[in-house]
Amino acid sequence: MNVLFVAAEVAPLIKTGGLADVAGALPASLRALGHDVRVVMPYYRQLRDRGISVEGPIAASFLPLGERDEELRIWRAVDAVTPTYLLDIPAAFERASIYGDGDDDRRFILFSRGVLALMQQLREVAGWQPDVVHAHDWHAALVSNYIRTTHAYTFGHVATVFTIHNLAYQGQFSTATLGASGLSERGLIENGMGPGTAGTFNFMARGIVHSGVVIGADGFGFAPFEGRWEKIAQLGGVTIGDDVEIGANTCIDRGALDDTVLEDGVKLDNLVQIGHNVRVGAHSAFAGCVGVAGSARIGRHCTAGGGAIILGHLEIVDHVNISAATVITRSIHKAGTYSGMFPFDDNASWEKNAATLRQLHALRDRLRALEKKA
């Protein structure tokens, strides 16, 4: 499999946090498994000042930014463990800082456009194109946006993965950024995302919306503590087996301690949410707004239809089929098909009606016994 990793920092070349460690180590591990993995990152001035060995430029072009075009040259790091491309964009990276400048939106719009230019060059000149583009954090989030919109004709077949390492930093800017991005045709999609995001241009939100798979590297767990929400540390990872297919807008949380696991042959398609520490058995398939809460254990060859919900900390045996719109609230220990829908009501009435329904079978038997006596 051909995989292109896109990150603003990659260890050991540039590191400000944990993102660099992942972007440096994971590609090397995947290459050891036989995949053709390559990395692209900015060519910061710090790298040039340190005199790292590079070859090139292997390509040169201009990148649109609003009404301007900015220069791009593409270099390749010579001594990198994983083939690493460096995007030399003077308008964005010929400065001392890595992040935190007032024009960071414009800088990383240029970076994302540069990634697409690199993909085009690799395709046309080197005969190489990725099967998967894996973008990391908000700085790379627009790559998925461009692939699914302005570059869909050329790269729409490429699968996209977006990993969030730090949810607190989303790349949120004023609406003026929309014009610079070249994504004005569809307008501010953020306006449909509710308070806090509406009325802004949000890189991370766009990465979430347009990526086929979203992985929460930090995890999204919070717990109440002294009147506020405190983040729960997520120390596990996501383990994905062979022949796994993950479809549009699916979100997988990493484990809190152990890993979240998708075994061989699992298929997840269209708006599926997999919570932390979930294990999905081999050749199981979920499709259409299926939610699986944390720490559920699901057997092999199971299915779940549209809108099905599986609560956390449950165990489901092999060969269980869950019908659409069914809510699984307890463990299932016997193979078969399970269905259940119940009209909503205020909670007290719902519990009363549910308790009555559960007693209907026993009431029927008692009625039959009375009829026999009569």
Q: How far apart are CA 134 and CA 141, in angstroms?
A: 10
Q: Give the 3-state secondary structure of residue 69.
A: strand
Residues known to be catalytic: 276
- How far, rounded to the nearest angstrom, does the alpha carbon of residue 243 sit from its chain's CA centroid? 18
> Residue 89 class from Cβ within 10 Å (0-12 exposed, 13-18 middle, 19+ buried)?
buried
Q: How far apart are CA 61 and CA 116, in angstroms?
A: 11
- Residue 337: enclosing H or E segment and its boundaries? strand 336-338
Q: How far apart are CA 21 and CA 13, in angstroms?
A: 10
Q: How far apart are CA 74 and CA 55, in angstroms?
A: 9
Structure token pair of residue 281: 């058995």
Angle subtended by helix axes 360-373 and 347-358, to nearest 10: 40
Q: Are 238 and 215 in contact (CB under 8 A)?
A: yes
Structure token pair of residue 243: 């022949």
Closest alpha carbon to 176 in 234, 110, 103, 75: 103
Residues with Cβ within 8 Å of residue 194, at least 6 apart in sequence:
none
End-to-end CA distance of the chain: 75
Structure token pair of residue 338: 């399970």
Q: Are 308 and 324 in contact (CB under 8 A)?
A: yes
Give strand pairing partners of 352: none
- Residue 205: enclosing H or E segment and its boundaries? helix 203-210
